[in-house]
A and B are shown apart, each in its own frame.
Chain A
Amino acid sequence: MKKKNADLKLQLEEKKFKQVNRRELLKLAPVLALGAFAVPSLREVLLKKGLGFSDWTAARFFRPGHAATTFDDSDLTPFAKFPINGYDVDDPGVDFDAWSLTVSGAVKRPGDYKLGQVQALPRFRQNTRHVCVEGWDVIGRFGGTRLSDFLQLIGADTTARFITVNCADDYYESLDMETALHPQTLLCYEMYEQPLTREHGAPLRLQIPTKVGYKQAKYLTDLKVTNVLDRVGYWEDQGYSWFYGL
């Protein structure tokens, strides 16, 4: 029962006041929804959806015309200090004489491409930042041919959604077509103006300054243009982000 006394101050009966307080407390119930994350089965689903939403948003932020920052030669991390990461061995023992890039999928000219054919395309060199998911970064000098030029060479259907790659160490990755067509995305065969060393992915690797390090697959053996991702990526299959654009 509310009454106004002579001083025009609002009065509230103690019982009603307690009721109001209880109701206001109950209005906070939605906060308890966060408790879903404490339930192991729900947690997996929610985190997967959360990561997926992050990936979706990340893809929305990608601007095909926007270049990654490039640096002066004086900013380069010394080659000896450029880390080597892998999931298995650093050198899978590629036979360079026998090596070819096996191209398949939605392309007019599938088949095996030798390194010479890749290197015959225009070469681009760039000083860009390499960011590892672990948190460290270095600035390297990379050289190679634009993936977009190679896709033209093989007669790729660039309206397809994905590029997938396989590697000599059984690593595998996939790329959205938009990023594949980005002018800084390279089929890289050089570092610091020298041919790639074995540990850095010889003879050919992806170099994608607009993506995190683990998407820049080394020792490529196969490349496929496709609308279906049957295999996503080594680290993605462990629970890491697929799009991971920088």
Chain B
Amino acid sequence: MSGAVVEIIQTNGKEDEVPVAVGRAVYEHPYIVRLCHWINLVALFVMVGSGLQIFRAFPSFGAKIPQKDLLHWPKAFAIGGWLGGALQWHLTFMWIYIATGVLYLGYQIFSGNYKQVLFTHRDLPGVWPMVKHYFFFGPKPPLREAYNPLQKQAYTSAIILGVLSVATGFAVWKPIQFSWLAWMMGGFHYARIWHFAVMWAILFFVLGHLVMVILHGWSNFISMLTGWKKDPEY
């Protein structure tokens, strides 16, 4: 679980010397969280890339006759080379994506570590001050924990979107065997639209996430690799 705090000290090995504190560090990200993050970074990249190649085969949500394309996604920014190849990537990596997601959710719930990142009603009052600070040059609210309310909202939404990407994907893949799922989405034709829309929502999240990671510096980035964040702001 996350949360352990240490004081980093320097000594030169003598018995009764007083150690010099050179910093603090917090264990922010447990192993399973980090493992799942990096696996699904690759998996999501492949799912989006191959998904867009699949989309290129019929880049429309209207009728086939007459066909009116929604947008032309360039082949160079898609994975698989052609529909057959893209489906192989998509139908292979979907299992990696799902297994990793299940591992992540299972770990978060059973370890209790979800409390670090789950957005609850208690976080509501803190959202607007964070929005003001990030987007409107408002004052920096005091940070008390690893994730501020806006971050919790973002990451919780991202997880929900991840689940939706799988649910909509299943409805597109098996609209008959998962007919109840497809029905909730308005049938196969609409499930395909939802699946596409959820992908864009996830990409929007990823964009925001990358900007924030870059803005928050090296120590913050490293914490998703080693788990430890040196000299946290809280």
Instruction: Give me the interface of A with B, judged by CB distance under 8 Å.
Output: 1, 3, 5, 9-14, 17, 20-22, 24-25, 27-28, 30-31, 34, 37, 46-51, 53-54, 58, 61-63, 66, 68-69, 77, 80-83, 129, 131-138, 209-210, 235, 238-241, 245-246
Given contact pairs A68-B176, A83-B64, A21 touches B228 in the complex (Cβ within 8 A): yes
Subset of 23 A-B contacts with CB under 8 Å? A5-B7, A14-B9, A17-B6, A17-B8, A17-B228, A21-B226, A24-B225, A28-B38, A30-B35, A50-B91, A50-B93, A51-B87, A54-B92, A54-B94, A61-B177, A63-B177, A81-B65, A132-B58, A133-B83, A135-B55, A135-B58, A136-B58, A210-B176
Inside 8 A of A138's CB, which chain B residues have their CB? 64
How many whole Å from B72's CB to the nearest CB in chain A?
A: 15
Inside 8 A of A37's CB, which chain B residues have their CB? 46
The proximity string for B residues 71-111 relative to A, scoring 1 for CB distances below 8 Å and 0 otherwise, is 00000000000011101110111111000000000000000
* B89 in contact with A13 (CB, 8 Å): no
Given contact pairs A31-B42, A134-B58, A134-B83, A17 touches B174 in the complex (Cβ within 8 A): no
A-B contact number at CB 8 A: 155
* A28 in contact with B35 (CB, 8 Å): yes
* A62 in contact with B64 (CB, 8 Å): no
How many whole Å from B61's CB to the nearest CB in chain A?
A: 9
Contact for A51 among B42, B92, B174, CB less than 8 A: B92
Is B158 part of the contact surface with A, judged by Cβ < 8 Å? no
* A9 in contact with B7 (CB, 8 Å): yes
* B89 in contact with A47 (CB, 8 Å): yes
Is B54 part of the contact surface with A, judged by Cβ < 8 Å? yes
Is B60 part of the contact surface with A, judged by Cβ < 8 Å? yes
Is B227 part of the contact surface with A, judged by Cβ < 8 Å? yes
* B19 in contact with A11 (CB, 8 Å): yes
169-188 of chain B: CB within 8 A of chain A: 173-179, 187-188
* A245 in contact with B225 (CB, 8 Å): no
Report the bound CA distance from A129 to B177 in whole Å.
Answer: 14
Inside 8 A of B192's CB, which chain A residues have their CB? 135
How many whole Å from A13's CB to the nearest CB in chain B?
A: 6
* B225 in contact with A28 (CB, 8 Å): yes
Report the bound CA distance from A77 to B63 in whole Å.
Answer: 9
* B7 in contact with A50 (CB, 8 Å): no
Inside 8 A of A14's CB, which chain B residues have their CB? 8-10, 22
* A9 in contact with B57 (CB, 8 Å): no
Contact for B84 among A62, A80, A238, CB less than 8 A: A238
Chain B residue, CB-CB nearest to A3: B19
Inside 8 A of B8's CB, which chain A residues have their CB? 11-14, 17
Inside 8 A of B188's CB, which chain A residues have their CB? 129, 131, 137, 246
* B9 in contact with A134 (CB, 8 Å): no
Q: Which 9 A-B pairs have the closest CB atoms?
A: A50-B92, A135-B58, A136-B64, A54-B91, A21-B226, A47-B88, A134-B58, A24-B226, A134-B57
How many whole Å from A48's CB to the nearest CB in chain B?
A: 8
Inside 8 A of B85's CB, which chain A residues have their CB? 239
How many whole Å from B111's CB to the nearest CB in chain A?
A: 16
* B63 in contact with A81 (CB, 8 Å): yes
Contact for A58 among B89, B174, B175, CB less than 8 A: B174
Is B25 part of the contact surface with A, judged by Cβ < 8 Å? yes
* B83 in contact with A10 (CB, 8 Å): no
* B92 in contact with A47 (CB, 8 Å): yes
How many whole Å from B146's CB to the nearest CB in chain A?
A: 16
Chain A residue, CB-CB nearest to B63: A81
Chain B residue, CB-CB nearest to A58: B174
Report the bound CA distance from A151 to B19 in whole Å.
Answer: 86
Inside 8 A of B228's CB, which chain A residues have their CB? 17, 20-21, 24
Chain B residue, CB-CB nearest to A26: B226
107-125 of chain B: CB within 8 A of chain A: none
Report the bound CA distance from A50 to B85 in whole Å.
Answer: 12
* A246 in contact with B84 (CB, 8 Å): no
Report the bound CA distance from A191 to B38 in whole Å.
Answer: 51
How many whole Å from B102's CB to the nearest CB in chain A?
A: 15
Extra 17 A-B pairs, beta carbons < 8 Å, given A28-B34, A51-B87, A62-B177: A11-B6, A11-B8, A17-B25, A24-B226, A24-B227, A25-B226, A27-B35, A31-B38, A53-B92, A58-B173, A66-B177, A68-B176, A131-B188, A135-B58, A240-B84, A240-B87, A246-B177
* B93 in contact with A9 (CB, 8 Å): no
* A61 in contact with B87 (CB, 8 Å): no
